[in-house]
Every structure is written in C-alpha cells, then in structure tokens.
Amino acid sequence: QVQPVQSGAEMRKPGASVKVSCKASGYTFTSYDVHWVRQAPGQRLEWMGCINVVNGYTKYSQKFQGRVTISRDKPSITAYMELRSLRSEDTAVYYCASGLVGTFDLDFWGQGTLVTVSS
Amino acid sequence: QSVLTQPPSVSEAPRQRVSISCSGSRSNIGKNAVNWYQQLPGKAPKLLIYSDDLVPSGVSDRFSGSKSGTSASLAISGLRSEDEAHYYCASWDDSLSALVFGGGTKLTVL
C-alpha cells in the first residue's frame, strides 16, 4: 500500500515541543516533496510547510515560521516535523503528505498524528 | 476565515449531480492550479482533482473539476451514499507564499 506511515499520538504541556515522523512506504522517497498539513478539531486543513527531500530545501507558512522545523533523513526515508512553544490551539491532527517534486498535488497522505496540548 | 471560500454544506439525492464552488482571488486561483481533496469521516484527505481538471489514476470519472477566472468548481455525478464526505479546494497563494485550503464543504447524499 502506498501510504506514508506516521508516528503515534502525542500529548504535551503548553510551552513544550513535539516532533512527528513520517516514513515513506510504497513509493520512491526522493521523487516526492513532503508536506505537513494540520487539522484542528472540526476545522479546515492548514498547510504548515514542505521539504525537498533530495536537497533539504524547506518552505514554511508565515504563520508557523520560527516555530516549526521540517527535516528529513534520507537513509531511513523519513521526514520530520517539529513544532515548538506549543499552545492549546496547536491541538490538531498533523498529516504528512507527499507530492511530486515541485508540485502541490498531495498524492499520498499519512494516517495522521493527533497532538494534544493541555496542562 | 479562509482565503478560499466554499459553501459549508450541500445536499442532493442519490444518482443526481451536485456542484461545489470555490471562490478565491487573483493571487491564488486566478494564477495557480486548483486541487480538490475528499475527506471521508475519520480519514486522511485523498487527492480527487489536480491541475484544475485532471483526475488521478484510480479516481472515479464521476468526479470532474473546472475553473474560470478566480473561481473553481467540483462536480460529482451519479451521487452515491459513499460520496458523503468533506470536500476541500486548495491552491497556492502568491501573496501569502503558502498553500491555502478552502473551509471545506460537507456533502450529504439524501
């Protein structure tokens, strides 16, 4: 099955950080950019940023600039999203999604990772 | 408030045709391609239409997309109960330098 596999649910306190992983499965890791999209409960999809897994070039939404880092490890065909200074409004399901390099056509989506921020 | 505007909900009877609109601006839909995603309850989104009107392999040809100016539409013909889902439009926004999504439309098959 062609689907990135994400790490499990996380719970954090306000002010902490979280790092979510996304491992490629069933497709060529280096042919696709990896995007991160989140969805708060009952809310719309929200794009956070993306990475070119070949050269490591990243692009971030201005909303998250300075608070998010997207990275990748080519040998383990895994991408990561780290979000810092968490607040309750960051409670959401975080998805990784792969799109052909240079496009924003998000072809393959991970199963999602629920991040809960609560004191 | 979303940069791309969609109706919150639409409904139609089985076997009928429904259309979902997505209104944007010159900085997004007016300049860049539109994609559509289907999100079934409790599931991850799925790419339904890309580059305004192209259907990915494996997606039913009951789904079609179109674009005119700063608006786009998704049409679903021969409605089935399994089409009940949320549908989101998306486009790159040059002003925001970000991929933006519509607020989503919940389709109910009566």
3-state secondary structure chain B: CCCEECCCEEEECCCCCEEEEEECCCCCCCCCCEEEEEECCCCCCEEEEECCCECCCCCCCCEEEEEECCEEEEEECCCCHHHCEEEEEEEEECCCCEEEEECCEEEEEC
Asked if the Cβ–Cβ distance from A112 to B90 is below 8 Å, we say no
Which of A 13-72 lie inside 8 A of B, CB atoms? 35, 37, 44-47, 59, 61-63
b/e for A48-76, b at 16 or more Cβ within 10 A? Answer: bbbbbbeeeebebbeebeebbbbebeeee
**DSSP, res A15:** T
Q: Is the pLDDT of residue B2 over 80?
A: no
- Chain A environment of B44 (Cβ under 8 Å): 95, 109-112
Average pLDDT in chain A: 94
Mean pLDDT for chain B? 96
Q: Do A16 and A28 touch, CB atoms closer than 8 A?
A: no
The bridge status of strand A106-109 relative to strand A92-100 is antiparallel
Name the more confident of B13 and A30. B13
Q: Report pLDDT digits (tens) over A71-116.
A: 999 999 999 999 999 999 999 999 999 998 889 999 999 999 999 9
Q: CA of A47, closest CA in chain B: separation in Å?
A: 6
C-alpha B110/C-alpha B102 separation (Å) is 24
Closest CA to A34 of A42, A23, A44: A23
Residue B1: band (very low, low, confident or very high) from pLDDT cuts 50, 70, 90? low
Please indicate whether, in this complex, the C-beta atoms of B97 and A59 are within 8 angstroms of each other: yes
Question: What mean pLDDT comes out for the span B14-38?
Answer: 97
Q: What is the pLDDT of residue A29?
A: 87
Q: CA B58 to CA B74: how far, in whole Å?
A: 17
Separation of alpha carbons B27 and B93, rounded Å: 5
Q: Using one digit for the tens of pLDDT, what is the confidence trace for B49-101?
A: 999 999 999 999 999 999 999 999 999 999 999 999 999 999 999 999 999 99
Please name the member of A46, A104, A110 whose beta carbon is closest to the beta carbon of B35: A104
- Asked if A44's CB is within 8 angstroms of B104's CB, the reply is yes
In the beta sheet, which residues pair with residue B13?
A: none
Are the C-beta atoms of residues B64 and B105 closer than 8 Å to each other? no
Cβ-contact A100, B50 below 8 angstroms? no
- A20-69 tens-digit pLDDT: 999 998 888 888 999 999 999 989 999 999 999 999 999 999 999 899 99
- In this complex, the residue of A45, A59, A63 whose CB is nearest that of residue B101 is A45
Write the CA distances from B88 to A9, A18, A45, A106, B31, integer angstroms. Answer: 25, 27, 8, 12, 18
Q: Does A96 touch chain B (CB under 8 A)?
A: no
Rounded to the nearest 5°, which phi and psi values hold at B27? -85, -10
d(CA A54, CA A29) in angstroms, rounded, equals 9
